[in-house]
Structure 1
């Protein structure tokens, strides 16, 4: 009987490890932004005019959400990498576009919203500002993305307000 127990222990340990390693990024926190994954047609929220399209995929065994944006304005594209940082327990996004601009955000999901903010930065007017982008998962499966610029905690402008609708297949 002793000969069977040891190999059985090794088998159970190996199977358990294999099951855990198959999905390194499957916790509730790490899948909190999955509602944004898909192929989207994006319109301006207020008037429905075309804003662009976005293809958003999970990559790196589900640990990274990769966005590829194409604007309705010819020639403007961008990409973002999004991931849950298990050390800080926050989502992080790095956005880079073909105009050379970049944006770093961090935050978490609250209810049906993913809310990410930038560190504060100074503008030419000497005031401190912060970017806040909120993705709201709507009941109809669409996603609203609202990018606000804040100063002293107050919204001073809206950089983008878009409605992501699933592309027709």
Structure 2
């Protein structure tokens, strides 16, 4: 066997190994679709005052359907985005929420009894740590997002906000 032939075989084998694409990650399993009810172009209303739009939110699937991206534009000038993904290795949903006011909130949880329930830690307006819990659920004509806070480690919860998302009307 000549050196030239052997070198060609080794080179081609190396290129084939490098060029072989990694198997695609499938985000099409049912768990990845649990939060799909939230996807859409929405007007958000405070549940206590359902006649006034408080924000516009667009929620769409990105990155080959693996991630839900929320773009939230508050009527008061607040702007936030969240990235939501199902972590199959931990069998858990994760959300990272960032705002134009320098805030970061990360919450995690599961789809339970028809609702997405995500919990995490946050700082209140006095920089004291608190627990937060958000619950998203489909309701007739839209989605409801209700949030609670706890200053005693989750023993008791107080309402934070309650939003109703309805399809955006231009």
- TM-score, normalised via structure 1 length: 0.78
The reply to whether residue 145 of structure 1 matches residue 145 of structure 2 is yes
1:52 to 55, 68, 76: 55
Where does structure 1 differ by over 6 angstroms across 4 or more consecutive aligned residues? Answer: 120-123
Instruction: Measure the CA separation in 1 of the matches of 2:65 and 2:42.
Output: 19
Instruction: Measure the CA separation in 1 of the matches of 2:127 and 2:93.
Output: 30
The reply to whether residue 85 of structure 1 matches residue 87 of structure 2 is yes
> How big is each residue's C-alpha offset from its partner over 1:20-54, in whole Å with a ceiling of 9 and x where there is no partner?
94x71111111100000000000001111321010
| Equivalence for 1:16 | none
> How big is each residue's C-alpha offset from its partner over 1:60-118, in whole Å with a ceiling of 9 and x where there is no partner?
00000000000011x21010000001111100000000000110000011122100000
Instruction: Measure the CA separation in 2 of the matches of 1:123 and 1:42.
Output: 23
The 8 Å contact of residues 42 and 167 in structure 2, kept in 1 or not, is answered as yes
The reply to whether residue 96 of structure 1 matches residue 98 of structure 2 is yes
SS in 2 for 1:30: helix
- TM-score, normalised via structure 2 length: 0.77
User: Cα–Cα, structure 1 residues 142 and 88, in superposed 2: closer, same or farther, change >3 Å?
Assistant: same
User: Cα–Cα, structure 1 residues 129 and 164, in superposed 2: closer, same or farther, change >3 Å?
Assistant: same
User: Cα–Cα, structure 1 residues 46 and 96, in superposed 2: closer, same or farther, change >3 Å?
Assistant: same
Instruction: Measure the CA separation in 1 of the matches of 2:127 and 2:121.
Output: 17
* Number of aligned residues: 145
- Ranges in structure 1 where 5+ consecutive residues have no aligned partner: 1-19
The 8 Å contact of residues 123 and 129 in structure 1, kept in 2 or not, is answered as no
| Equivalence for 2:131 | 130
User: Cα–Cα, structure 1 residues 85 and 168, in superposed 2: closer, same or farther, change >3 Å?
Assistant: same
| Equivalence for 2:9 | none
